[in-house]
Amino acid sequence: MFTPFILHPQRERERERERERERERKRESSVKVPIMAAAAKTVFAVVVMVLAMAEVAKGEQKMRVYLHGNMYYRNASFNTESVAVGRSASMSTPVTSFGEVHVIDDPLTSGPTMASSKVGRGQGVYAYCGRTMISAWWSFTAFLDGRGTLTMVGVEQIGTSVPRVLSVVGGTGEFAHARGSVLIGTTAAKPPNYFVVSLDFTLLLPS
């Protein structure tokens, strides 16, 4: 006579094995999910970094203009381009001009001579701020005709081996939200009243 109860232990063992396999799958899944999530985060971070580097490379721009300065200390006329507006009689020296403040409204050209095409004007202030060396603190804006403006700030150490670099802290028009630097180089000089400097811009522009 057939007795169905004889198979029950075998079925229980099969069910137990199936439950064990299910528990093993869950354990494997619980390990894989954090690993996959971490890997996904790493891939995402790499993609973001690559895209950011591509945007920076895409937005970099280099440009050179020349600023022509004519400095007058007395009897400044209406056409004066650079004028001394302040001087410390007790501190200023012929060597460093410490304490002198100048206001400029100088022409910018595409080349090193005034015969070059005019591209705009540089307007702002510089002050001699070095007591033992010739250093000038600049705060001025380059108005580039039809393109926009670039504003620069920083200390220029003149007559040293230190690169004369100012920070570009902003801009408008074509140069809106610009950041970067400008390297200053002397092209011509007839002390103390005339100088020409090259302004080599390296700009990072938002795309």
Task: Please indicate, yes or no, whether residues 35 and 81 belong to a single structural domain of this protein.
Answer: no
Q: What totals of helices (H) and strands (E) does the chain contain, helices first? A: 1, 9
C-alpha to C-alpha distance for 195 and 188, rounded to whole angstroms = 6
Per residue in 133-191, pLDDT tens? 889 999 999 999 999 999 999 999 887 788 899 999 999 999 999 999 999 998 988 77
State pLDDT tens for residues 181-199. 999 998 988 776 788 999 9
Mean of the per-residue pLDDT values for the chain? 79
Q: What is the pLDDT of residues 105-131, one digit of tens each?
A: 999 999 998 899 999 999 999 998 888
The 10 Å Cβ neighbour count of residue 192 is: 10
Based on the domain organization, do 80 and 55 belong to the same domain?
Answer: no
Residue 195's CATH number = 2.40.480.10
Cα radius of gyration (the chain): 35
Q: Assess whether 69 and 51 both reside in one domain.
A: no
Residue 117's contacts (CB-CB under 8 Å, 6 or more residues apart) are 109, 110, 111
Q: How far is CA 35 from CA 31, 42, 47, 63, in A?
A: 7, 11, 18, 48
Stretch 54-67: mean pLDDT: 76
| 68 and 161 belong to one structural domain | yes
What domain range is 129 assigned to? 61-204
pLDDT for position 150: 98
Per-residue model confidence (pLDDT) at position 69: 85
Among residues 33, 59, 85, which one ends one of the domains? 59
Percent of the chain exceeding pLDDT 90 equals: 40
pLDDT of residue 130: 86
Residues 75 and 40 both lie in one domain: no
